[in-house]
Structure 1
């Protein structure tokens, strides 16, 4: 199993209802599979945020959602930010 600590920021935190959580996924799971599991567990509000969010995997930006998760990881969920 892979153990992924998920940290939610700003609107993602509000949609998830928690600041962080740890999820267990099958070994070799992808970022996309993690997001699907999180959306299913937390509901459609979070699923909408995840569809447009950016992600850091162990502090490195992830653009390819097919990226495989290591056995122990931190996944940061960063919703789109407004401002300038």
Structure 2
């Protein structure tokens, strides 16, 4: 399974307590499962509401394949105006 670099932003960074991690996953769905396996309720909630970028491109298909060395950005909803 590919090793993926995961970068957390805003509320995701707070919920996971880090700005960056690595995880083994073949798809965004697998990555979400891996990240939330032992995570807090807060982290699980943030992930479920987040959008994702794969190598700086919006990931719209949660089943699209991830490759070794990909970078996935976890972007929770932002407020502002």
Q: What is the TM-score with the length of structure 2 in the denominator?
A: 0.92
2:60 equivalent to 1:63: yes
Paired residue secondary structure (1:42): coil
Paired residue secondary structure (2:58): strand
Q: How many residues align?
A: 81
Paired residue secondary structure (1:49): helix
Instruction: Look up the match of 2:37.
Output: 40
2:41 equivalent to 1:83: no
Instruction: Look up the match of 2:27.
Output: 30
CA RMSD of aligned residues (A): 1.1
Instruction: Look up the match of 2:3.
Output: 3
Q: What is the TM-score with the length of structure 1 in the denominator?
A: 0.89
**Cα contact 2:52–2:73 (8 A) shared by 1:** yes
Runs (5+) with no aligned partner, structure 2: none
